[in-house]
Structure 1
Amino acid sequence: MALRLIESIIPAASLSALEDLPENGKVVDRWDEMLNDEKALVRILVDAGDVESLMDKLVERFANVDGFRVMLIPVEATLPRPVEPEANEDEVEEEKSAERINREEIYNQVSAGANITRVFIAQAIIATLVAAVGLIRGDTAILIGAMVIAPLLGPNMALCLATTLGDWKLVGKSLKANIVGLAIAFLSAAFIGILFPVSVTQEAIAARTQVSGGDIILALASGCAGVLAFTSGAPSALIGVMVAVALLPPFAVFGMLLVSGDYKAASGALMLVSANVICVNLAGTLTFLAQGLRPHSWWEANRAKRAVRIAIAIWAILLFALAALIYLEFGYSLEHATTP
């Protein structure tokens, strides 16, 4: 089992208040150390799935105490090996909630992906340039290589998490990162479109100028997979390929076709990008909810519920409006194609 070490600094006089903590999670071991007459260091070795409940208890009891600090440390291995406890029927629901890592760990990982850094900018440029060349050549291997970089995974997962937790500061941060990432991708794709001839007769490009049911399923699956990667603690690099495939190639096609003067095909690519962004975020938010991710305090939970309702309603309305647009455009094209 995956283990974490919780280290907390608390008032020495409050050590007795922690005696009931083992009842709130499967504590493997615990060590108390006096730092001085006023403070104590408590180390608790616990299964990763039980970290959240223990940390919440610590915060509830000591958040307002001067000098309180809690730290979470991943444990690669420990000897002797901890014995796996046997779950009974009463612990089934608890087992389900332990299938993901704790809220703070997820938040730190996901929110870091919404930072606009020089590395993020470089990744967006490189990924778009490589993807654009791969699209022009119709080379799937080059496209996959570009997608491994996955620059847009972080901002979109951060937006899903911010919505789920009702964190408006993170919403603004992730939206800004998304806009910057897409702007860089557009400029990079436009640069390739100016340098090289681009045509919708190329199969890889033509496939990304219209929305199909398969594209919707791919985007929904991508959003779900991206969230599962973060909440399970699994490496997100390969899962990020799915999100990148849904977002970056069609946007690169949009940029290249727009500067090439093929506005109709470019609008189709932009519609595909819009559908993918909506589906990735809708599926991501619903997956975070299904994973039981909630804010710590009750008032934050109430705020988060409102934010989630608003976000899901917005994404659903946008998806419905986009579907109507696609249907109308398809019907119009079909009518003109069959008119003698």
Structure 2
Amino acid sequence: MKKILVHVRDEDYDALVNTLEGLYYVTDHVGDVNEFILFAPDEDVNDLVEKIRDALDLRYNENMIEVSRPEFVVSTYLQRAEKKAEEKEENAPVEKLLNSVKPYTELDLEKVSLTSIAGLVALFGLFLNNSVIIIGAMLLSPIIGPIYSFSVNIALGKPGDALRSVGVLLALLGAVFLLSAIATFVINPFIPLPITEEITGRIVTNPIYIIMAVLLGFAAVLAYTLETPEVIAGVAIAAALLPPVVVSGIVLVLQPVSLLSSAVLVVDEIVGLIAGALLAVLVLKIGPRESRDQIAAGKYVFRSAMILAVLIGLLVAVTLFVGPGGPLV
């Protein structure tokens, strides 16, 4: 159940009343604006907000829509409304999606710190050949955020923010790669570091990794959009992507001959996860409200899908080339 508070100037009052015809709401006059308060089931909020937007001229500061979640509401009318909405499919409002991905279009110390710590913990888990430690490291990593942000921003026709999200992702992974290489270089002279099974398993690449990454990207973004806690949805993506990046830093120091194969695996995972995330937002029908914006967003989605398809094709070829049985093995 959501509470919708609408501030509207006198000139738009009648238009909003007509829009809300048949719905129960409370009105009040506050200062120079009229205040409408209404409640709606979660499943109806997106459509209702869109109708209200159409009735208001939001270029005026007096017109404003606020959506919040009350702790509880006692009303037989709302109980009936919720019962009618039970079979409807709930879609997250566009504004909520944009607000949720905005932090991942900018790089900050917190994201770098968490990802770096997760990378170091994964490094120790790899050298100890301990999968529990490796998976535990994933709980710290915010890697799902930039991937989710890219897919949502592309679907909403915001390519600039989408590219910034990719930049944040690459910066985080670059920090993990450098930190892993430096840590390995510093520790190895004092404590000889072994190439364990957990490491070798992430050196040999295979086209199946791309398929796995697509599925993980799809499932994680689907869960994230449906308000599954980020820590749960993000573990799958972090577990797929972070250890291979750490392994690339390790082999750069200890086994440079394996760097190419390790790097290809990392690129496989990145492209596959992004492709899966983009597929998820398409299945969820995430897009702009306005028809004009929908057309522009569709073009960006199509171009992104084509680029990803080409990259996946190239990566499959390269993976077969450097993978088991390939000419470089």
Give the TM-score normalised by the residue count of structure 2: 0.89
Cα distance in structure 2, aligned partners of 1:64 and 1:102: 20
Matches within 5 A, 1:1-340: 3-22=1-20, 29-36=24-31, 38-62=32-56, 63-80=58-75, 82-83=79-80, 84-86=82-84, 95-96=88-89, 98=90, 100-194=91-185, 195-196=187-188, 197-200=192-195, 202-260=196-254, 262-330=255-323, 333=325
1:20 CA displacement = 4.2
Q: Which range moved further: 267-276 or 171-180?
A: 171-180
| Residues 1:48 and 1:113: Cα distance change in structure 2 (over 3 Å) | farther
Question: Cα–Cα, structure 1 residues 326 and 213, in superposed 2: closer, same or farther, change >3 Å?
Answer: closer
Deviations 1:253-296 (A, max 9, x none): 00111122x22322212111111111111111111011011112
Distance, in Å, in 1 between the alignment partners of 2:155 and 2:227 is 18
Change in 2 beyond 3 A, CA 1:329/1:23: farther
* Larger displacement relative to structure 2 (62-71 or 219-228): 62-71
Q: Which runs of 5+ in 1 are unaligned?
A: none
Structure 1: how far apart are the matches of 2:228 and 2:264?
Answer: 32
The CA distance in 2 between the partners of 1:235 and 1:50, in whole Å, is 23
Of the structure 1 ranges 248-257 and 161-170, higher mean CA displacement relative to structure 2 is found in 161-170
Checking the alignment, whether the CA contact within 8 Å between 1:198 and 1:256 is kept in structure 2 is no
C-alpha deviations, 1:130-187, integer Å up to 9, x for none?
Answer: 1111111111221121101122111111111122122022123212211221121112
On the 8 A contact 1:128/1:146 being kept in 2, the answer is: yes
Shift of 1:305: 0.7
Q: 2:286 is aligned with what amino acid?
A: L
Q: What secondary structure sits across from 1:85 in the alignment?
A: helix
Measure the CA separation in 2 of the matches of 1:19 and 1:6: 14
**Contact 2:210–2:269 (Cα < 8 Å) also in 1:** yes
Shift of 1:336: 8.6
Paired residue type of 2:62: G
2 CA distance for matches of 1:234 and 1:30? 31
Paired letter, 2:230: S
Report the AA paired with residue 35 of structure 1.
V
Shift of 1:74: 2.4
Displacement of 1:329 after TM fit?
2.8
User: What value does the CA root-mean-square deviation take over the aligned residues?
Assistant: 2.3
The DSSP-based 3-state class of the residue aligned with 1:220 is helix
Scaled by the length of structure 1, the TM-score of the pair is 0.87
Could you report, residue by residue, the CA deviation over 1:21-58 in whole angstroms, capped at 9, with x for unpaired residues? Answer: 4579xx6x52222103x311212211222222222222
Please give the secondary structure, in 2, of the residue aligned with 1:70.
strand
Q: Is the 8 A contact 1:151 1:181 kept in 2?
A: no
- CA 1:191–1:330 in structure 2 vs 1: closer, same or farther (change >3 Å)? closer
Task: Choose 138-147 or 45-54, whichever is displaced more.
Answer: 45-54
Quote the Cα distance in structure 1 between the aligned partners of 2:148 and 2:326: 37
Question: 2:320 touches 2:326 (CA, 8 Å); kept in 1?
Answer: no
Matched residue of 1:78: which SS?
coil
Deviates more, 1:244-253 or 1:205-214: 205-214
For 1:40 and 1:310, locate their aligned partners in 2 and report how far apart those are by CA, in whole Å. Answer: 44
Contact 1:127 1:151 in 2 (8 A): no
- 5+ residue gaps, structure 2, are none
Q: Secondary structure at the match of 2:171?
A: helix
Q: CA deviation at 1:318?
A: 0.4
